[in-house]
Structures are given as structure tokens and as C-alpha cells.
Structure 1
């Protein structure tokens, strides 16, 4: 079971709390010595005030920088912490652990300051703090500890904040990917629904017009057209359900059969082309959608009298070309939803789409997809 990642504010609060606990572990021994052994009220008051102020300001600066609210004024807070931590050993002595306060500010060097400045300040502190400790009479081991601890504390503070920001950015990237996936799925669904219903409803409307035309002259033809309308309507309902479920698979042969039948019913001369039996399965769907959209555009946006369909499967590509007349009277397609959607489909399949007037009164749609798997 994968653990749930808390919110960024919760993670930041945990980091701040752990940092304060580590400071308490560093500063508690000398403070307890003052409280239990020396029992000097003035010293205890000074120690409590200094330790409390340092811990509170340290936690505040760390929290603000974790929340990406860094400002130049935070440097004054770091300076105040450094001054307090370096003043305590001078005021209370370096014995019993007060010399440890010299390394406390190092945890904020790379958090508050820019990286280059933090490196310079850390190098200076690594030299100055031990020298100051020697001046105050610190033991040799304590001085050596400061030489190693100051760079380690600086690096620890930097890595802690860096990891927090990385986790936050990964969370944001994950959320953005989820939103992008939802948006792409919505676009796919809208495109599929447009292609399915656009073709089916146009065919139903055309059959209804034919039935109306023969209503008084040929009742048999009207019954035939009504039967076709029922069949198309049921097929449209089935297609919409399949689109919603995401399982719809388009066949080029089926689409070309339907296209030629619809165009012929509209009085447009159209011969069904031969489709090679060995066409790879992955080319049927994108080219089938091209045939569907082209049929809808011919019926809706042109005054065509003929339409020619060619399927070529030579070399490493399979090409579907559809040419019709009647292009000058009306513009073809809606590049925002129809042909643009087809271009997206073909690009996703590794192919390409070209569509536009040829110049001799015809409109040409050509789609090519690779014969091999993309």
C-alpha cells in the first residue's frame, strides 16, 4: 500500500518541528545546567530569552522559506540569530555546551541567502567560528567539531528545503498531468462524438429528404428509406455508446461502404474503391475516420456531382485520397473541429493529412499513415 503524501503545509510544519527539536537537543544541555546547577536567576533569564528568541526566529525563517516567501529582510533575521548565538558564549561562557550555539546559524545560511553567498558565508563562518571559540577558550575537540559541523549544518539546511520544494513541484506536475489527461480525454470524446453524430445525422437527414421527395410518388421507396433511417439511427446510438465506453474501432472497408452508399443516395456519383485484404489493422481506424469526415463534408459543404475515392498501399505508407467537385460554392469543413480533429488523429498515428481546394473546382483530402506500427 502506497502511503498518502501529506499536504505541503503539513510537511513544512513537520520539518520546522523537527528542526526546533534538533535545536532543543543542541541547546538543552547547557540550559539545564544553568537551571539545575548554577541557579543564577540573571543567567537563566538571559539564557531562556536568548534560546527562545533564536528558536522562534529560526522556525519562522525556515517556514517562510519553505513556503517560498523569501525576502531580503530575512537576512536581518539571520543576522540577529547569528549575533545572539555568538553573544551567548561570550556572556555565559563556553563550558557545558554554550559553545555549540556558534554552529546554530549555519542551518539557515543556504536557506535564507542565495547559493553563492551562502557558500561564501559558510566558508567564512567555518574559519571565524573556530577562531572565535579558541579566543573564548573552547577545548580543541569542540573547535574541531565546529570546523566539521558548520558546513554539515549548511548542507543539511539546503538539502532539506531543496527536497521539500522538489516534492512540491512533483505534486504540482502530477496534478497538471492529471488535468492535461482529463482535458485530452474530453477533446478526444468531443472529437469522436462530433465525427460519429455528424456523419450519422447527416445521413439520416439525407434519407429523410429522399423519403419526403418520393412520399406521393413511390410509397415503396419511402418505406425503404424509412427502414434505412431506422437502421442508421440504431447504428448511431450504438456508435455513441461505443464512443462513450472508449471501445469503438473503425474499419476502413465499413466506412467506405457507408460513404459510397450515402453519396449515391444523395445523387452523387461515387464508386467504392478496392481495399487490399492485407492492410494492417492499425491503419483502418485513422483512415476510416477520414472517410467518415470527408463524406460528411461532401454532403454538408459542397454541391458535388461526383466523388472519387482511391486507396493506395504502396511502399511503406497507405494513402487514402478523396476528391470531389463543387468546391467553389461553399467552404469545406470546419478546421476547428472536423479537419483539425482528423489532423490530430493522423499525427497521433504517425501520419499526415492534407486538405484543400485543388484549383479546378475540386476539393481534395489526402491522408497517409505508415504501413508499419508507428
Structure 2
């Protein structure tokens, strides 16, 4: 049930209750025409004020001129007891009780409705105890029903708003997942394609066989990237730490960066292993794109119920500064326009993980990649840290529960 349909249902039921009590008020014509006319005017006034109050309450608002409207309804309910016979207030009190419950806090509303119930029964009791019980119960039950209808509409509206907010949050989470997976997953693949394409171009003349091999590797990485895109679209990506470490080492070696892998023999929960695998992938991508490293180490170790991943390299030179042998990290000479060996300037020397530069204390200023990696680690209950080493290199550390 939507909030609009609940509102329509509540309005119909509340209007029907008012119409029934108007018909009951017409009974006073059987006593005398004067009493009948007075009772009709009064019950119509009570019903109109009641409807105004309920319409505002269904929108979770106070009625216009509140509390004057409720006060006028109370006057029209109880003052006529002074001149109309047969317990007039018992006819109008059920509508007043509903108005009291929806406009006043429960700590005031329910005690007042209790007093109205007792009064309705007490007025009639000397004449007919059975009718007195009926009048009293009518006040209590009708007031409670009207209050329940209004609460139903308000709760339905709140639930509808909550569903809309949850749907919006789900869309935002999915967008964040796609953005993070594309950055973390395709970043390494595109970097590898650029490096292998550049290497194949440089080997084309002097070693055609090696160039063909690199082109074949480029095609393989491109197919892996296409598969990554399909997995991102389906929302299913399963990574292994060992697989990512081995692929990262092979990619670094092909780019001229010596790499050693030391993985502890530890069985990890699925979430923890995937978080560490993403850490390896992000770290390798950033070694290739943002450093002039010549060596890199990928290692895991176990410490007091957690597993620690460290990816360290030896090269974070100042911006534009070549490595010690005058070559870039891919093993080629920097080009005349300041670009790296891949030809696209993607190796932004001096940048930290995720493209963020080191701060004054050696910590990395978080970029998109490091921020996404921190979110993945937090999802697995872990942490991420990155910054320069005392020897001038760069280290990315991730720790997750084992």
C-alpha cells in the first residue's frame, strides 16, 4: 500500500464515521423540531472541525488555527449537554477523542480520552446502564480507530520515504562499486597494455620475434581487461592473493622492475583474501605508473590474528628526476618531451599510491586508488597505510583479520 492510497482510505473511513454520527444527531428531531435543528447544526459543525483536523493530521501537520479548532470542537461537544437531553456529548465525543489523540502527545491525549469515556458513561448510567456502557466504549474505540488510521498513514509515508532513500543509497553504492572496480581493475590492465605496446614498438626492428611475443601478451592482457569489464557489469569479481601476486610480479619484470614475492602460508577468509589481492593489484599499478622503481617486493606475514601485506619499491624520485641509470622504470630512456617509455606520460614520478603525492611527513596524500583500497580494507575489517621508507622508497601496507 502506498502512502497516497492509505491517505485516500483513511479519508473515506473518517468521513464515513462523521456521516454516521450526523445521522445519529438527526434522532433529536424525534424529540422536537427545535432540538433536532440545534443538534443538526452542532453535529455538522463538530464533523466539519473533525475533518479539518484529520486532513491536517494525515499530512503530519497541525490543523489551521490550532488549538482553536480543537477547543471549538470541545465546546460544541460538551456545552450542549446543558440544554440538549439524552447525553448529547456521547454522540459527538468519539470524534473529539480522535482529534485529541492525533493533535496532542500520548501522555496528554490518552488520559483525556479516558476522562471523556468515563463522562460519556456516567451521564447515561442513571437512565440505562447498558446504553451507558455502549456510549463509553464507543468513545474509546472510535477515538482509538481514528488514531490508528492516522498512524497507519504516517507510518506508510515514512516507509515509502525510507524505501526511496534505500533505493537511492543502493544506486549510489553500485555506482561507487563500479567506479572503484573500474579504477582498481582496469588501471593495471591499461597500464600493462601501454607498456607492452611501447616495448613491442621498440623491439619491432631489432627483434621481431620478441616484438611478436609482446604483441601476443598485449592481446592477452586486453582480453583480460574485457573480461574484467564484463565481471564489473555483473558485479562478480573473485580474486586470489597468490594469482594477483604472480601476475603483478610478471608484469613488473616485463617492465624492467625486479620483483620478489614472499607469501605466508595462511588460509584467509574470502573477504580478507580479496582485499589483499586488490591491494597487490593497486600497488603494482602504482609502481608502474607513479614511480621509477628498479626493485619491488610483495610479502605477507601473520601477526597476532591478522595478516599483513607489504608492497615496497625502491624508487620515488622527485618530479621529473630519472632513476640512477638515467632510464625510466620500464627500462627505456625518457623521451624528449618528458614522457615515460609508454609514450603517454602515465608514469607521474613522485606520486604516491592512487596518484597522491607524499606529504611532508612521508605519508601518501590519499588519491582515488588509495581511498578505494582503504574502503575495501575497511569492509574486510582492516586498515591501509602508505608512505615513503627511510631509504627513499615507497611502501604500501594493508592489514586484515585472518
TM over 0.5: yes
Deviation of residue 13 (structure 1)? 2.6
Which of 288, 293, 304 is the matching residue for 1:304? 293
Structure 2 unaligned blocks of 5 or more: 319-349, 355-365
- Structure with the bigger percentage of helix: 1
Which of 95, 98, 103 is the matching residue for 1:104? 95
Q: Aligned partners of 1:118 and 1:339: how far apart in 2?
A: 56
Q: Aligned partners of 1:115 and 1:181: how far apart in 2?
A: 36
SS of the residue 2:395 aligns to? strand
Could you say which residue in structure 1 is the equivalent of 2:59?
A: 67
Deviation of residue 139 (structure 1)? 4.6
**Cα distance 1:77–1:277, how it changes in 2: closer, same or farther (>3 A)?**
closer
Deviation of residue 337 (structure 1)? 2.1
- Judge which range, 9-18 or 269-278, deviates more: 269-278
Could you say which residue in structure 1 is the equivalent of 2:361?
A: none
TM-score, normalised to structure 2, is: 0.79
* CA deviation profile, 1:118-151 (whole Å, cap 9, x unmatched): 35644654566667x379x865555555555545
TM-align CA RMSD = 2.9
- Judge which range, 215-224 or 62-71, deviates more: 215-224
SS of the residue 1:304 aligns to? coil
SS of the residue 1:272 aligns to? strand
SS of the residue 2:261 aligns to? coil
Could you say which residue in structure 2 is the equivalent of 1:114?
A: 105
Work out whether residues 308 and 324 of structure 1, in 8 Å CA contact, stay in contact via their aligned partners in 2: yes
**Cα distance 1:227–1:126, how it changes in 2: closer, same or farther (>3 A)?**
same
Q: Aligned partners of 1:199 and 1:242: how far apart in 2?
A: 15
Q: Aligned partners of 1:200 and 1:67: how far apart in 2?
A: 55
Q: Aligned partners of 2:129 and 2:191: how far apart in 1?
A: 92
- Judge which range, 278-287 or 67-76, deviates more: 278-287
Q: Aligned partners of 2:220 and 2:62: how far apart in 1?
A: 68
Which of 322, 332, 335 is the matching residue for 2:352? 332
Q: Aligned partners of 1:102 and 1:287: how far apart in 2?
A: 69
Could you say which residue in structure 2 is the equivalent of 1:20?
A: 15
Q: Aligned partners of 2:137 and 2:27: how far apart in 1?
A: 26
Q: Aligned partners of 1:114 and 1:246: how far apart in 2?
A: 48
Work out whether residues 92 and 98 of structure 1, in 8 Å CA contact, stay in contact via their aligned partners in 2: no
Q: Aligned partners of 2:53 and 2:21: how far apart in 1?
A: 19
**Cα distance 1:317–1:305, how it changes in 2: closer, same or farther (>3 A)?**
same
**Cα distance 1:352–1:146, how it changes in 2: closer, same or farther (>3 A)?**
same
- Judge which range, 271-280 or 312-321, deviates more: 271-280
* CA deviation profile, 1:333-364 (whole Å, cap 9, x unmatched): 23342111111111112222222223431211
TM-score, normalised to structure 1, is: 0.84
Which of 238, 259, 271 is the matching residue for 2:260? 271
Q: Aligned partners of 1:15 and 1:138: how far apart in 2?
A: 35
Q: Confirm or deny that 1:205 pairs with 2:194.
A: yes
Q: Confirm or deny that 1:194 pairs with 2:179.
A: no
Structure 1 unaligned blocks of 5 or more: none
- Judge which range, 340-349 or 264-273, deviates more: 264-273
Q: Aligned partners of 1:56 and 1:155: how far apart in 2?
A: 19
Q: Confirm or deny that 1:8 pairs with 2:3.
A: yes
